[in-house]
């Protein structure tokens, strides 16, 4: 479990590991409670973190799930072929119809073996990426 800001602005990890309070809202990392005759710091909020890298790697351990991981490439190849022939996308029924993904594939930024991770965050979550740190983990 990772300690988190009470208002969910940050997790006290990475660049925030040494902080005692949230830099966004100033809420303390811990509240102090009495246990017997001692004052004990208890995290105000915690979050369970499941690293996504090992989850994605595990998808390639079996032949069937590895084949399923190629689904995006198969669907997008058909969409791109239709668009290159002057056709259009009649029904936007999948995330692969996204202009962001299709343009990335057309420009060579999204390769067949790349994995696409789509994350939906609640509106109150602040996402602050330290790209150097993310690339080195």
* Rounded CA separation 75/49 (Å): 31
Among residues 34, 49, 64, the one where a domain terminates is: 49
Residue/partner pairs of 102-107 with CB below 8 Å, 24 or more apart: 102/76, 105/76, 105/80, 106/80
Q: Are residues 35 and 6 in the same domain?
A: yes
Q: Is residue 126 part of a domain?
A: no
pLDDT at 16: 94
Summarize pLDDT for 24-83 with one digit per residue, the tens.
999 999 999 999 999 999 999 998 888 889 999 999 999 999 999 998 899 999 999 999
Cα distances from 27 to residues 39, 112, 120, in angstroms, run 19, 45, 25
Q: Is residue 133 part of a domain?
A: no
Q: Are residues 74 and 62 in the same domain?
A: yes
Q: Are residues 35 and 58 in the same domain?
A: no
pLDDT at 50: 81
Q: Are residues 68 and 43 in the same domain?
A: no
pLDDT at 131: 46
pLDDT at 125: 59
* Rounded CA separation 49/14 (Å): 13
Q: Is residue 112 part of a domain?
A: no
Q: How confident is the model at residue 111 (pLDDT cuts 50, 70, 90)?
A: very high
pLDDT at 22: 95
Q: 98 lies in which domain range?
A: 52-106
Report the number of distinct structural domains present in the chain.
2
Q: Is residue 98 part of a domain?
A: yes
Summarize pLDDT for 12-22 with one digit per residue, the tens.
999 999 999 99
pLDDT at 25: 94
Q: Is residue 43 part of a domain?
A: yes
Q: Count CB neighbours of 76 within 10 A.
A: 22
Q: Are residues 39 and 66 in the same domain?
A: no
């Amino acid at each position: 479990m990772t300690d988190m800001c009470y208002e969910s602005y940050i997790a006290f990890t990475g660049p925030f590991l040494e902080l005692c309070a949230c830099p966004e809202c100033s809420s303390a990392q811990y509240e102090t409670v009495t246990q017997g005759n001692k004052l004990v710091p208890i995290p105000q909020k915690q979050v369970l973190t499941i690293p996504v890298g090992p989850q994605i790697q595990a998808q390639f351990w079996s032949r069937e799930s590895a084949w399923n991981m190629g689904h995006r490439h198969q669907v997008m190849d058909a969409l791109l072929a239709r668009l290159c022939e002057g056709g259009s996308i009649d029904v936007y029924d999948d995330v692969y119809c996204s202009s962001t993904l299709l343009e990335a594939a057309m420009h060579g930024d999204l390769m067949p073996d790349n994995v696409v991770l789509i994350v939906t965050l609640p509106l109150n979550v602040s996402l602050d990426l330290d790209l150097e740190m993310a690339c080195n983990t």
